[in-house]
Amino acid sequence: MGILIRNARFILSPLENYGISILENKNIFIEDNKIKCIGNKCGDKKDIVIDASKHIVIPGLINAHTHAAMIFLRGSLPDAEFWEWLPRVIDVEGKLINKELVFHASRLACLEMLVNGIVGFMDMYYYPLETLKACQEYGLFIATGPVYEKEKRQQIEKFYREARKYRNHIPIVNIHSLYSQSEEELLGAHVFSLEKNIRLQIHVSETRKEVFMLKKKTGFWPVEYMYKKKLLDKNIILVHANWLTSTELEYVAEKRSYIVTCPHTSMRLAEAGFTPVYEALEKGIILGIGTDGSSGDRYNILDEMKELVLLYRHNYWDTRLSVKYVYPRLVLNNYKIIGIEGGIIKPGHPAHITLLRIDPIKHTPLKKDNVLARLILSSEFNVDYTIIDGIIRYDSSLFEEYIDKIRDSLQYIERVADKIDYEKGVAK
């Protein structure tokens, strides 16, 4: 028995060449975790049937950078700039963070991502094993691993051994940043990523202060420093990259490293930098998008795409980042960054699919030639179904049941929240 998505009003799929296919009023048949058929005569009466006549069908979305369990700190320090925000957050985490909190906060974060049509994410946070445990019930793809610390190599190895038992885990290793960790740790993490052939995720060139700190210390800009130390390669994921020189961008392209931009965080924390999105994409760099952690305020990739498009049009003074240009690239690139197949709705491809409800008040008129603009520039679509590997992992008609299942986690987070002054960003 498969799943028949019947009479989908619109199917918006990226193509392998970064084009877009927009189909109307077609069926999609899913079986054995694959898309088997798209057309007018797919499936039969034995299948699970979803009436999609009032839905837009898109690929399941990937969130290319998160600190998932930071959900408990959302709304804190609403008016702080980065270098005021960061030490206060670290102080609160130091006083409150533990395995139990990470478990419960991750559980909520993963459900929120499912509710927003996200089928996988790349994470960096404390106790990554707890995030894997918390989110198993949702079937999400989770790329995570510990932050590399030289004195904890045995613990890191233990994590990877234990993490093997978790479905849909994609192992990675993390370095927080060049300014917060030693050169020895950076080199060690890089060697580790090469040995294991896994991604290495690092925050880099997020703020102007950061790049000048490293320039003063080493004589190099951050990505230039990594290039000179032979630390750029096809496994490296550079997160933020707000303050890159044109030469550094050439280095990234040469070494085929990845970039992930988080525009909401950049604006919220007044980082003022400008990830060279268009220039990177035109050089063939695989650039993706993420929501970040508490500074991202929500786990919604469509909303993040909207903010990126509007921010960059404002700064470029033109519309080179068209919706047709951005949508297929960010959807497909996020899959490439996390390292799994998907992002295309086509027979033979994995059945990672999101169904967005068409609201007659918010979305009228909705036509083939404006549906993509409505999707990206409004981003006001609610998700009714999230399908991962051909399994319905979220069904909005069962929303209250999902909430009931995590009631204990919600209550735990509320108790932790009572210990935080959110406006000041301090633990009480």
pLDDT tens-digit profile of 298-341?
A: 999 999 999 999 999 999 999 999 999 999 999 999 999 999 99
Given a contact cutoff of 8 angstroms between Cβ atoms, the answer to whether 237 and 202 are in contact is yes
- DSSP 3-state of 235: coil
Q: Residue 252: CA atoms inside 13 Å, Cβ hemisphere, count?
A: 30
Instruction: List Cα–Cα distances, 276 to 159, 173, 184, 246, 289, in angstroms.
Output: 35, 25, 29, 9, 13
Residues 6 or more apart whose CB falls under 8 angstroms from that of 287 comprise 258, 259, 260, 261, 275, 277, 280, 281, 329, 330, 333
Torsion sign across C-alpha atoms 364, 367, 373, 379: positive
Residues 6 or more apart whose CB falls under 8 angstroms from that of 112 comprise 71, 298, 299
pLDDT of residue 150: 76
Does the structure show a pLDDT above 90 at 380? Answer: no
Q: Is the peptide bond before 365 cis (omega within 30 degrees of 0)?
A: yes
Q: What is the DSSP string of 139-155?
A: T-EEEE-PBP-GGGHHH
pLDDT tens-digit profile of 32-44?
A: 999 999 999 887 7
What is the percent of the chain where pLDDT is above 90?
Answer: 94
CA–CA separation, 66 and 77 (whole Å)? 18
DSSP 60: P
List the CATH code of the domain at 61-338: 3.20.20.140
pLDDT of residue 351: 98
pLDDT of residue 47: 81
pLDDT tens-digit profile of 392-420?
A: 999 999 999 999 999 999 999 999 999 99
pLDDT tens-digit profile of 245-297?
A: 999 999 999 999 999 999 999 999 999 888 999 999 999 999 999 999 999 99
Q: Which of 118, 38, 92, 83 is nearest to 386 (CA)?
A: 118
Q: Domain ranges in the chain?
A: 3-60+343-403, 61-338
Q: CA angle, corner 170, sides to 231 and 286, nearest 5?
A: 50
CA–CA separation, 357 and 54 (whole Å)? 6
Given a contact cutoff of 8 angstroms between Cβ atoms, the answer to whether 328 and 20 are in contact is yes
pLDDT of residue 1: 74
pLDDT of residue 408: 98
Torsion sign across C-alpha atoms 178, 285, 389, 382: positive
Residue for token pair 């470029």: 316
CA–CA separation, 205 and 46 (whole Å)? 54
Please tell me the class of the 3-60+343-403 domain: mainly beta
- Average pLDDT value for residue range 175-183: 95
pLDDT category, 45, cuts 50, 70, 90? Answer: low
CA–CA separation, 204 and 178 (whole Å)? 7
Mean pLDDT over the full length of the chain:
97
Q: CA angle, corner 46, sides to 40 and 52, nearest 5?
A: 45
pLDDT of residue 43: 76
Residues 6 or more apart whose CB falls under 8 angstroms from that of 341 comprise 335, 349, 350
pLDDT of residue 372: 98
- DSSP 3-state of 321: coil
**Secondary structure element (H or E) that encloses residue 387, with its range:** strand 382-388
Quick one: 283 exposed, middle or buried, by C-beta within 10 A (0-12, 13-18, 19+)?
middle
- Average pLDDT value for residue range 94-100: 98
Residue for token pair 């949508």: 327
141-144 vs 353-357, strand pairing mode: unpaired
